[in-house]
Amino acid sequence: MEKKLLLVTGLSGSGKTTLTSQFMSIFDCNFISISNEMRRIARSDGFPKLTDYFNYFGVKNGFGNMRPQLIDILQKRVSGKPVIVDGVYDKDLFKDIVLRFGRKNIIVVSMDIAESERQKRIFFSRQAGRNTIREMIRRDNLKCDAGAIAIMANADITLNDSSSGNISRITERLGWIRK
């Protein structure tokens, strides 16, 4: 079986997690959250928070330090099953993923919604206590510095919301993931 990856990208509050949860309930696949893996790597390197890691190394060097470990984690998770990868923002990580797995084995889905809707989602989400609009903007600036906009601009599929209607719209395109 060929290795297949579904990379989901987008800015904070765009619906990535909602969409990946829907995919996980439908398709037989593995899942990786790049952000969660990066937090785990930062903690193993002695940084309690990912922001501490990036403050110490800088965005470019921080992503650069983590990239080989993230590729190894991804390689291990692709074990005969497709993998849904939530949160690919670093353009160099994306390039490394393409080199490792081949572009024909990857579908990139970009979540793109209006700024006001993203802010509303953050404000009314259960994470609102932790994630203020200011924090969302700070994280999005880091994502943009790493190259998220370039990845989003070259997505195979761009969705404007994470409603379940999108699942039926793109299931045909993702038919390979059922195999």
pLDDT of residue 179: 45
Model pLDDT, residue 170: 62
- Which pLDDT score, from 0 to 100, does residue 138 have? 74
Name residues of the chain where pLDDT drops below 70: 1-3, 114-133, 161-179
Is pTM beyond 0.85? Reply is no
The 10s digit of each residue's pLDDT in 34-52 is 989 999 999 999 999 988 9
Contact yes or no for 111/15 (Cβ under 8 A): yes
| pLDDT score at 174 | 61
Domains and CATH numbers, the chain: 5-174 (3.40.50.300)
